[in-house]
């Protein structure tokens, strides 16, 4: 084999003339994540330093980024000219330091969907009047707990209203949740479809259930609508229609003072995604509710925390099978179900060499003994070797909060930085 000495390789004139160009930023750069001399950083600190102090799999959340997202949302809602209340969807991430931080801002309440979530919110210092419950398949013991704590409930069946009325004092205010009857948001997976299933009252039933609630001594002060997950820019027509419908109901129900539009906003999961920007979302709300003297409530989970978080794992094994390159990591669907359950794409970033291209495309195998446990496919995550660190992004929402101990593989560390 002949080896050419680099000093005597003749460069083409065009190469000599070309100035070195900085590499184009990757779509996830900016925000929480950047690339420094020691690899990937989150919130300005090198991820390798956090890993030196904490065991992988390790979730890292960037507090400053959460604050930025909250600021963006508040700015958008202010533009509506309406009063507004933000209830953080605690189901997205219930890491206690994160809850304590949100509590400390004094800018949000909590959207809870179970008695234990309500209790956790109270333990974090939120007061009962800052907690809104929107939940499903509620038992009498769940309803009794909500009444005991004094949290406001959005109900979505005549049966739930009847049972709640037996437990709650006369004059208790409730909300009614409406089925949006339109599928919008990220992807086409039925798991992310919030219409036509178990959630929310059918449009044709809402007025009857409102009358039932009133006849039982409850006051319907809220109408609620959760449209979907990852609402996109091209969802505006469907969204406008659904908002128009809830506004019509509010015009017919004089006791309604709050329109709760749920969650659903988020960021990009892939470079060519077009999520609906909060300002545009707020403009749709302002248009749909223009004539109504109501407060807008919302329940963001993903928007506030998703892109503030990262899951760091270590490569434990590498192998080639039928020409396909696989890297196994020390995490799986027990710690993060995004890919396996929702088929939602996670970006994979080589922590030590985030900008290095890869010779091969890699599939990333989770460590749960299930065929579905593949964290990502066909990624260019540098050239993986055993012991390397791979980060999954975004991982601040529905990661740790959905962890299970399947195969006794549910352990992880968590940090707010």
Ligand X SMILES: Cc1ncc(COP(=O)(O)O)c(C=O)c1O
CA distance 209 to 155: 10
Contacts with ligand X, 342-381, as mask; x by CB under 6 A: ----------------------------------------
Question: Which one-letter DSSP state was computed for residue 287?
Answer: H
Comparison of 47 and 308: residue with beta carbon closer to ligand X: 308
β-pair type (109-112, 131-134): parallel
Nearest distance, CB of residue 220 and ligand X, angstroms: 17
Comparison of 31 and 230: residue with beta carbon closer to ligand X: 230
Nearest distance, CB of residue 86 and ligand X, angstroms: 11
Does position 157 interact with ligand X (CB under 6 A)? The reply is no
Nearest distance, CB of residue 58 and ligand X, angstroms: 22
Comparison of 40 and 178: residue with beta carbon closer to ligand X: 178
Nearest distance, CB of residue 264 and ligand X, angstroms: 5
Cα dist from 148 to 117, 130, 175, 222, whole Å: 14, 15, 17, 20
Comparison of 276 and 312: residue with beta carbon closer to ligand X: 276
Nearest distance, CB of residue 328 and ligand X, angstroms: 29
Nearest distance, CB of residue 398 and ligand X, angstroms: 7
Cα dist from 178 to 82, 142, 223, 296, whole Å: 21, 21, 7, 15
Number of residues that bind ligand X (CB under 6 A): 15
Does position 93 interact with ligand X (CB under 6 A)? The reply is no
Taking alpha carbons only, the member of 273, 275, 248 closest to residue 259 is 248
Nearest distance, CB of residue 188 and ligand X, angstroms: 16
CA distance 40 to 139: 46
DSSP string, 45-68: EEHHHHHHHSPSSEEEE-HHHHHH
Residue 357: Cβ-neighbour burial (10 angstroms; 0-12, 13-18, 19+): exposed
Q: What are the backbone angles phi and psi of residue 92, rounded to the nearest 5°?
A: -70, -40
Among 60, 89, 138, 348, binds ligand X (CB under 6 A): 89
Comparison of 56 and 80: residue with beta carbon closer to ligand X: 80
Does position 400 interact with ligand X (CB under 6 A)? The reply is no
CA distance 20 to 206: 64
Whose CB is nearest to ligand X? 263
Comparison of 89 and 364: residue with beta carbon closer to ligand X: 89
Contacts with ligand X, 277-316, as mask; x by CB under 6 A: ----------------------xxxxx-------------
CA distance 296 to 111: 14
CA distance 74 to 35: 29
Does position 134 interact with ligand X (CB under 6 A)? The reply is yes
Chain length of the chain: 417
Tokens of 317: 């094994």
Comparison of 326 and 342: residue with beta carbon closer to ligand X: 342
Does position 226 interact with ligand X (CB under 6 A)? The reply is yes
Among 84, 164, 229, 392, binds ligand X (CB under 6 A): 229
Please enumerate in sequence order all residues whose Cβ is within 8 A of that of 284, keeping only pairs 6 or more positions apart, or say none: 236, 239, 240, 243
Comparison of 117 and 299: residue with beta carbon closer to ligand X: 299
Contact residues: ligand X, CB under 6 A: 89, 92, 111, 134, 226, 229, 262-264, 299-303, 397
């Amino acid at each position: 084999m002949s080896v050419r000495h680099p000093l005597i390789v003749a460069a083409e004139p065009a190469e000599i003339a070309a100035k070195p160009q900085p590499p184009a930023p990757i779509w996830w750069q900016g925000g929480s994540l950047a690339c420094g001399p020691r690899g990937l950083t989150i919130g300005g600190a090198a991820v390798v330093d956090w890993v030196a102090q904490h065991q992988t799999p390790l979730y890292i959340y960037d507090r400053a980024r959460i604050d930025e997202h909250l600021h963006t949302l508040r700015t958008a809602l202010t533009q509506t000219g309406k009063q507004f209340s933000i209830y953080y969807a605690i189901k997205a991430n219930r890491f206690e330091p994160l809850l304590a931080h949100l509590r400390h801002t004094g800018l949000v309440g909590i959207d809870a969907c179970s008695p234990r979530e309500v209790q956790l919110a109270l333990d974090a210092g939120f007061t009962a009047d800052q907690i809104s419950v929107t939940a499903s398949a509620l038992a009498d013991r769940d309803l009794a707990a909500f009444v005991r704590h004094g949290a406001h409930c959005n109900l979505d069946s005549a049966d739930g209203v009847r049972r709640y009325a037996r437990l709650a004092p006369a004059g208790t205010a409730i909300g009614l949740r409406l089925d949006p009857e339109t599928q919008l948001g990220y992807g086409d997976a039925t798991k992310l479809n919030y219409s036509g299933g178990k959630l929310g009252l059918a449009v044709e039933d809402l007025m009857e259930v409102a009358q039932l609630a009133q006849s039982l001594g409850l006051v319907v002060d809220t109408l609620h609508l959760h449209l979907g997950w990852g609402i996109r820019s091209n969802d505006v027509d469907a969204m406008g229609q659904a908002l128009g419908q809830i506004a019509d109901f509010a015009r017919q129900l004089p006791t309604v003072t709050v329109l709760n539009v749920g969650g659903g906003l988020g960021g990009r999961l892939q470079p060519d995604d077009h999520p609906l920007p909060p300002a545009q979302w707020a403009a749709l709300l302002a248009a749909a509710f223009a004539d109504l003297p109501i407060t807008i409530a919302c329940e963001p989970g993903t928007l506030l925390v998703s892109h503030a978080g990262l899951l760091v794992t270590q490569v434990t094994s590498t192998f080639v099978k039928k020409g396909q390159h696989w890297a196994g990591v020390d995490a799986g669907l027990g710690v993060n179900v995004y890919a396996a359950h929702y088929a939602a794409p996670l970006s994979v970033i080589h922590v030590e060499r985030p900008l290095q291209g890869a010779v091969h495309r890699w599939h990333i195998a989770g460590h749960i003994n299930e065929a579905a446990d593949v964290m990502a496919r066909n990624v260019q995550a540098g050239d993986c070797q055993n012991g390397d660190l791979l980060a999954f992004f975004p991982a601040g929402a529905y990661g740790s909060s959905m962890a299970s101990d399947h195969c006794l593989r549910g352990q992880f560390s968590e940090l707010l930085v």
